[in-house]
A and B are shown apart, each in its own frame.
Chain A
Amino acid sequence: MTPTGTTTTVRPTKPQEPQEPQEPNLPSFDVRRIREDFPVLKQQVYGKPLVYLDNAATAQKPRVVLEALRKFYEVECANVHRGIHWMSEEATRDYEESRESVRRFLGAAESREIIFVRGTTEAINLVAHSYGRKHVRAGDEILISAMEHHSNIVPWQILCEETGARLRVAPINDAGELLLDEFEKLLTPRTRLVAVCHVSNALGTVNPIARIIEMAHSRQVPVLVDAAQAAPHLPVNVQELDCDFYAFSGHKLFGPTGIGVLYGKAELLEEMPPYQGGGDMIRTVTFEKTTFNSIPYKFEAGTPHIAGVIGLGAAVEYLGRIGLERAAAYESELLEYATPRVARIPGVRIIGTAREKAGVLSFALEGVHPHDVGTILDREGIAVRAGHHCAMPVMERFGVPATTRASFAFYNTLQEVDALVAGMEKVREVFA
């Protein structure tokens, strides 16, 4: 289970099956050893050891991912699905093996339900364009929550604008938890789709996604899950969850930037029209009539981000070896350690105090703007995010223009939390 291998072809010895719960045995979670897998973490910034607490923005990459990228470009750089030569065959095999790795990672039934896109944003836009244009009419409703990232708001606004449909927003409480009763009331006979995040990027709230899906399905409403923040932190099985669409980004999952995944149930994907037209997504083309390829290729027009896909495959294999369940338990420990220590800093108000949280600690410091906090922490070698986190409605809900956000990954340490708290002392000194 030790993630120190350098090869990208090793399969996890123990796939993350929910019927095999692992005993929480945290002392065996060897964070020092795991850090060795991430070359970037050895870096110094302004002469201080890097403390990377901006994982919700993008996560760092383990060596196996970097090596998979290098292998592709050094050995088998060729286009896929056009294989009459050796390199193309190798590239195609690795590309499709990555699709199979992602299928296993998500617990999907079939690999053709895995569509490679640029990221969560493109995945949501794909559904809004393709599923939305086919099924959404004037007077219909799309239901989202008040804690969504802009990428799970704006595509639906555009769709509503085009079709005359209406965007409904389920409210949240002061802790940043979805009000399930209100959510249920907003499920009407006009609701065509529910689109909610599994984990909020600005608040860290973990939504009761299974319950949400149950509620929607009892009214025959399909559900898209924005899993950008959940996929790197929470083990998932899309079949058990029974979600209709599940979208995430590779770069937040320790994989390359510019690659992401849309999972969709085959029966939904099959009846959806293409999102983009071009090469690879067709079967035959004449000037009179084009027949489209079957899924997933129908949704992968043009030469895809082959290296990205292969790198993402290496990332999910790596996570399989680490065990997301164990990583999640360790991250909860980090968050439990950090929360009271940051909350105790005079003038700090934690934004997002849901009972179920993952990975994110967002806060405001009285009288000091988050950008000033971010600048001072940066000079201490500490990387955090300061801003509205592409969730301006969330900021408005909590009456702050912006927050400082520390977000954790399984390679972070308790000492790094201490460094954050010490850095906050420096901030207070400057603004004393």
Chain B
Amino acid sequence: MPEVRELYQELIVEHSKKPRNFGKLDGADHEATGYNPLCGDKVTVYVKMDGNIVREIRWEGSGCAISTASASLMTERSKGKSQADSEALFHVFHTLVTGGTLEEADAAQLGKLAAFSGVKEFPIRVKCATLAWHTLRAALEGAKTVTTD
């Protein structure tokens, strides 16, 4: 099962079992819910901004291991970052999971997110991996809901 192991790397399995920053964030000033209508996955992202910086971020929802681990790692990485930083990182992440070519400098930015490299071999799981990122973007842009369609 080499490809399956590539998809379900240890870090992903671990985060899917113990998602970080899970639960509602009281006093959030930004919030959005993302749906993946195909599989019923649902992610709500809560953000408290400090100027242009994500000061606090939490999420809740339900979904597969890929979407859960992605939400967990996304919230870890977005804390303390500006909206522009998050947007840039989402772009790199998206390139990674869709099998695009990454510049060395971009690849270096990924850090733990590189664990999602196996997703590119499973095109139908790209939406699972990107749901939390789409939802964060929607929250920061002031939208209430977003779907991966």
User: CB within 8 Å of B: which of A386-432?
Assistant: 386-388, 392, 401-402, 426, 430-431
CB distance from B123 to the nearest CB of A (A): 11
Known: A371-B125, A376-B4, A426-B4. 14 other contacts (CB 8 A): A368-B65, A369-B64, A371-B39, A371-B128, A372-B66, A376-B1, A376-B8, A402-B39, A402-B40, A430-B1, A430-B5, A431-B8, A431-B13, A431-B17
As a 0/1 sequence over residues 336 to 380 of chain A, the CB contacts with chain B under 8 angstroms (1 = contact) are 000000000000000000000000000000011111100110011
Known A379-B4, A387-B39, A401-B62: A430·B13 in contact at CB below 8 Å: yes
Nearest CB in chain B to that of A376: its residue: B4
Contacts of B8 in A (CB 8 A): 372, 376, 430-431
Is B3 touching A372 in the complex (CB atoms < 8 A)? Answer: no
Contacts of B65 in A (CB 8 A): 368-369, 372, 431
Is A375 touching B122 in the complex (CB atoms < 8 A)? Answer: yes
Docked pose: A392 CA to B68 CA in angstroms: 21
As a 0/1 sequence over residues 72 to 88 of chain B, the CB contacts with chain A under 8 angstroms (1 = contact) are 00000000000000000
Known A368-B65, A375-B125: A388·B4 in contact at CB below 8 Å: no
Q: Kindly name the residue among A372, A380, A402, A426 whose own CB sees the greatest number of chain B CB atoms within 10 A.
A: A372
A-B contacts, 11 of them at CB < 8 A, read A368-B65, A370-B64, A372-B66, A375-B125, A376-B1, A401-B40, A401-B62, A426-B4, A430-B1, A430-B8, A431-B65
Contacts of B3 in A (CB 8 A): 379
Tell me if B's interface is mostly helix, strand, loop or mixed.
Answer: helix
How many chain A residues touch B (CB < 8 A): the figure is 19
How many chain B residues touch A (CB < 8 A): the figure is 20
Docked pose: A430 CA to B7 CA in angstroms: 10
Q: Kindly name the residue among B5, B8, B68 whose own CB sees the greatest number of chain A CB atoms within 10 A.
A: B8
Docked pose: A426 CA to B1 CA in angstroms: 9
Contacts of A379 in B (CB 8 A): 1, 3-4
Nearest CB in chain B to that of A369: its residue: B64
Docked pose: A431 CA to B10 CA in angstroms: 9
Contacts of A369 in B (CB 8 A): 63-65, 68
CB distance from A383 to the nearest CB of B (A): 13
Known A401-B40, A402-B39: A372·B1 in contact at CB below 8 Å: no
Known A372-B8, A401-B40, A430-B8: A367·B64 in contact at CB below 8 Å: no
User: CB within 8 Å of A: which of B1-60?
Assistant: 1, 3-5, 7-8, 13, 17, 38-40
Nearest CB in chain B to that of A426: its residue: B1
Contacts of B38 in A (CB 8 A): 387
Contacts of B40 in A (CB 8 A): 387-388, 392, 401-402
Contacts of B66 in A (CB 8 A): 371-372
Docked pose: A369 CA to B8 CA in angstroms: 13
Is A430 touching B4 in the complex (CB atoms < 8 A)? Answer: yes
CB distance from A367 to the nearest CB of B (A): 7
CB distance from B62 to the nearest CB of A (A): 5
Contacts of B62 in A (CB 8 A): 401
